[in-house]
Structure 1
Amino acid sequence: MPLFEPLDDISRLTGRLALSVEYDGSAYCGWQRLKHAPSVQASLEAALAKVAATDVRVLCSGRTDTGVHATRQIVHFDAPVARTQKAWVFGTNANLPRDIAVHWVVPVADDFHARFKALARRYRYVILNQPSRPVLERANATWCREPLDAERMHAAAQALVGEHDFSSFRAAGCQSKTPWRHLHFITVNRYGPLIVIDVQANAFLHHMIRNIAGALVAVGKGEQGADYMARLLALRDRSLANVTAPGCGLHFVDSVYDERFGLPREPLGPNLLAFLGEWTGERSLPDCPMVRFRRGQPIAELESSQAGGAAHEARQVHSSSQEVRE
């Protein structure tokens, strides 16, 4: 969907709908609805309910934690009434606070599920690396005043690529049934004063990316050697690792689905990285059991044709623990 494609204000959409949501997580306890604090989910459902004139419940591609942002959070819901595409988008945005916005709404197949059909999730962690404190970027980047060696950080991070037990990067309160995740890629690059950790995986553990970022900062400062990430991974002990990096630098930028669902493509965020020019889904996905399974290949066939860690991943694709929680 081109950025300026007009929204349909004639055809009325009902059935299962998917939408893309952007939000600044600074004022929220995270995505998930909670009784004691404001959440993005509660705000979105309240706004959709205004358009539908009845209750609406949504499911997302992956929960985000307190203070974490998103530029392409994919959500689906079963519309209780028929409204035009323009009404769903403009009407919802008119009833949302200024720190949340819907980009688009499209009809999807009945078997689409924002969480269980996701092939990959992608985050960018943004560090402002300069002596003076941030001003314009203070809510969406983490400040580090000491010089960081981005090349050294990138080299160290490559030990995390592949399927591993990420216990050393898992929050103590993580509720996932398994610490195993398949990390597709991770890069660390410097753009002037910005250092960007770009990471994609099948799913993430609670605080996994923020714990990885905290450890990589120690490498970038020269406090730890280039083999530090590999050593932490092998230890499988969170208590021996570094502090958790702040949530303000973390951005959920993409959730990837099979092409048959026809979700619109859009530039990867956050907008302060728009100069990179990358759009959603441009990176190729690994040929792994979870991706093949979610594209329709039977799980039994995958288990019989794979060995070791790949077979472990195949057995995990049904697990409810396979979700983002950052």
Structure 2
Amino acid sequence: MRNIRLKVSYDGTNYHGFQRQDATHGPTIQGTLEEVWARLVDEEISLAMAGRTDKGVHALGQVVNFTTSARIPEEKIPKAINSLLPRDIRILKADCVPDTFNARWSAKWKRYDYQVDNNPIPNVFNRLYAYHEPIPMNVTKMQKAASFLEGFHNFKTFAAAGGTSKTFERTIYRCQVKEDQRLVRVSCVGDGFLYHMVRIIVGTLMDVGKGRIHPDEIPEIIASQKRERARVIARAQGLTLVHVNYTDDSPFDVFQDLVE
């Protein structure tokens, strides 16, 4: 038996999230990958995933792993699977990893990006990958608010109901807001994220940008540990899982755009 790791990219628009669900809900990324593997080598597998992305969320660098007795060389796996996958899912890389490796529990840190189209009229080419917000946002205030989210905190305020995490303490290494021609990007890099945490952070920062929350209120909102203090959950289509890291490399060494 080999433990195979896959790096996966997908457009989540047409899927009911990553995690396998009852067929009545519609197709999922996990279900699609497992079905294709069964067609390819006549073997049932169960994927472990780095992040359980929701319906409509995308990924540039999702990571999964599974054990297999199939003999197909790992260097040939991407081409073989991609030949059977729909065009909105691609396997970017496959390698053999130690038996102790788990895509979720072995991860050191992850990066998520969220895009907001802040133009009065939305760009049609961003409609699947950015949330349209026509109300002008003050990016400078959003940047100041984002800086308060960095560090080790109890993020219970930013955790939606329905999550399975038993603790709410997480470290955010970088929470960055950048803007280019009214396309606002929020990048969150951390050692782990709670259910809907990034989307709640983005919703809160958008409220800051629209003047509904003052940036200096963020520390108190975090300390309150009250979900009602950060009520807005940003829409799914603006969110992308960019990268999952399994080495001791710093996020700032991997991504130069995170360094001011």
For residues 40-189 of structure 1, the aligned pairs below 5 Å read 40-189=29-178
Give RMSD over aligned pairs. Answer: 2.0
1:42 partner amino acid: G
For residues 229-248 of structure 1, the aligned pairs below 5 Å read 229-248=218-237
2:238 matched residue in structure 1: 249
**Cα offset for 1:84?**
2.7
1:18 partner amino acid: R
Contact kept? 1:68, 1:248, Cα under 8 Å: yes
**Cα offset for 1:279?**
10
Contact kept? 2:2, 2:96, Cα under 8 Å: yes
For residues 290-301 of structure 1, the aligned pairs below 5 Å read none
Distance 1:43 1:279 in 2: 34
Gaps of 5+ in 2: none
1:217 to 2:190 alignment:
no
Distance 1:121 1:85 in 2: 24
Distance 2:9 2:227 in 1: 31
Aligned residues: 253
Distance 1:86 1:182 in 2: 35
1:308 matched residue in structure 2: none
1:171 partner amino acid: A
**Cα offset for 1:228?**
2.7
**Cα offset for 1:200?**
0.9
Distance 2:248 2:80 in 1: 28
2:19 matched residue in structure 1: 32
1:281 matched residue in structure 2: 254
TM-score (norm 1): 0.73
**Cα offset for 1:85?**
3.6
Distance 2:217 2:18 in 1: 32
TM-score (norm 2): 0.91
**Cα offset for 1:157?**
1.1
**Cα offset for 1:192?**
1.6
**Cα offset for 1:133?**
2.2
Distance 2:242 2:252 in 1: 10
Distance 1:210 1:142 in 2: 11
Distance 2:80 2:113 in 1: 30
Contact kept? 1:51, 1:87, Cα under 8 Å: no
Gaps of 5+ in 1: 1-13, 261-277, 284-326
Q: Quick one: structure 1 residues 42 and 279, their matched pair in 2 at CA, closer, same or farther if it must change by over 3 Å? A: farther
Distance 2:154 2:121 in 1: 38
Secondary structure of 1:199's counterpart equals strand
Contact kept? 1:58, 1:75, Cα under 8 Å: yes
1:207 partner amino acid: H
Secondary structure of 1:82's counterpart equals coil
2:157 partner amino acid: S
Distance 1:28 1:280 in 2: 33
Q: Tell me the percent identity.
A: 34
Secondary structure of 2:221's counterpart equals helix
Q: Quick one: structure 1 residues 211 and 259, their matched pair in 2 at CA, closer, same or farther if it must change by over 3 Å? A: closer
